[in-house]
Amino acid sequence: MPWLQQRQGKFYVCYWENGKKIRKSLKTDNEEEAKKILESYQISDEQHSQEDAILKLFSAKRKQDIQLNRCLISDIWNAVEELPAPRNLSTFTIKGKLYIVNLFTKWVKNNLSHLKYIDELTEKHAAQYIASMKDKAGRTRLNHLSGLSSVFAILLIPYNLERNIWKSVVRNEAVSVRKQNLSLEQIKALFIAAENFTGRVKYFWQTAVPLGFYTGLRLFDVCTLSWDEIDMKNKTITLIPSKTKKQGKELSFTLRDEFGRYLKKLYRRQKTGYVWPGVAEARLKNANWINEEFSQICKNAEIETQRKPEKGEGKKTVVLVGFHSLRHTFVTTALDMGIPDMQVTKAVGHGSPVMTGRYDHTLGAGRQISSSLPEINTKPQKSEQ
């Protein structure tokens, strides 16, 4: 509260501001006039006090609101689903993020049970979680780090988080082992093994294996192939791969007899929806049996699919051959035939020839391939009489 002070006949107003005493001359020696001026200072001081009190109330209320608007660690995914997604995500991507979040919340429950809310998590906790995955492949650790970072980015503003704790975690370079190419002899053995394999879904592998080799399509796109992407009359397959849907890159392939003959059999029974509804549903749910069946086909073809990990790979086993190997072989065979890089790039939907170059492993020096992908004849030869 301001007060008057008189020095050498002159009146001054005094008050405290930020812990410091302030003294201002009122430029008068008349006490009544000085008292009137003092009243205006006192009224102003009261107004400031009221404003300070109101600001304190607002600040306390905001803190209370923030505390009320907290997200339980166990409720992370429900919180994400209630908020608008930053972009359209495929069902497959959403299920992948859900899996990552569930693993993290389970780890917190087992190792940091004293923590309840996401705002209690720190960069140290994030680093500890990634470090706990040391037995996983480098690519897997990076996928978990990226997935959790994107989830917390969604929660950052709505739940008043100070920062995204996953951004500061060191992203160690993943030791990635790319799938091997297959020789034409191995491709033929794989075709024969697929022909003779009895899987869960009729005609799937008999179609999928040659389809992968002759088109370079990824397993997801083969599994979710639909009849509206197949033109039986003009013998073509036209689709936009799931990985490049955002760019809208449409690819088109010739319906070769190696896999077309099985599609004809299926087409007589069903002409709409997924070609293999059971396979599509399983792939969308990330079911393991699809990869397990392909591994068995490789085994039947006497193709080694795994090896023991080397130092630094951080895996229990290293996968050498998978369905993606058919895509690698498609690219490399085309390049070995002398097809220009840009045409191969367009055929597989890559963004640039640099990506195509990652697939270019040699199949053997001096080997010549005809001007088109070779026919793989799996039909038994008639014996001469």
Residue 280: inside a domain: yes
Strand runs labelled E in 201-266 = 230-231, 236-239, 251-254
123 phi and psi angles, rounded to 5 deg: -60, -35
How many distinct structural domains can be found in the chain? Answer: 3
**Residue 114 belongs to domain spanning:** 73-155
Residue 378: inside a domain: no
Q: Cβ–Cβ contacts within 10 Å for residue 250, how many? A: 12
Q: Taking the mean position of all CA atoms in its chain, how far away is CA 346?
A: 24
Does 117 lie in the same domain as 29?
Answer: no
DSSP string, 152-189: HHHHTTTTT-SS-TTTTS--PPP---PPPP--HHHHHH
Q: Taking the mean position of all CA atoms in its chain, how far away is CA 48?
A: 53
| Token representation of residue 223 | 């599994």
pLDDT computed for residue 123 by the predictor? 92
Q: What is the pTM of this model?
A: 0.57
Does 96 lie in the same domain as 138?
Answer: yes
Distance CA 221, CA 281 (A): 12
Does 116 lie in the same domain as 7?
Answer: no
Last residue within a domain, chosen from 104, 136, 155: 155
Does 200 lie in the same domain as 126?
Answer: no
Residue 238: inside a domain: yes
pLDDT computed for residue 46 by the predictor? 65
Last residue within a domain, chosen from 65, 83, 102: 65
Does 352 lie in the same domain as 227?
Answer: yes
Residue 253: inside a domain: yes
223, 227, 262: which is closest to 241 by C-alpha?
223
- Categorise residue 8: left if φ over 0, alpha if ψ from -120 to 50, beta otherwise: left
Distance CA 341, CA 334 (A): 9
Does 210 lie in the same domain as 124?
Answer: no
- How does pLDDT run along the chain (385 residues), one tens digit per residue? 788 888 888 888 888 777 778 888 888 888 888 888 878 777 666 666 655 665 665 555 545 544 457 899 999 999 988 887 666 666 767 888 899 999 999 999 999 999 999 999 999 999 999 989 877 777 788 889 999 999 999 999 889 898 999 988 877 654 455 677 888 899 999 999 999 999 999 999 999 999 999 888 999 999 999 999 999 998 888 888 888 777 777 888 888 888 888 999 998 888 889 999 999 999 988 888 999 999 999 999 999 988 887 765 555 677 889 999 998 888 888 887 776 677 766 666 655 444 445 444 433 222 222 235 667 765 544 433 3
DSSP string, 92-133: HHHHHHHHHHHHHHHHHHHH-TT--BGGG--HHHHHHHHHTT
pLDDT computed for residue 77 by the predictor? 92
pLDDT computed for residue 351 by the predictor? 52
Does 334 lie in the same domain as 210?
Answer: yes
Distance CA 29, CA 32 (A): 9
Residue 372: inside a domain: no
Residue 351: inside a domain: yes
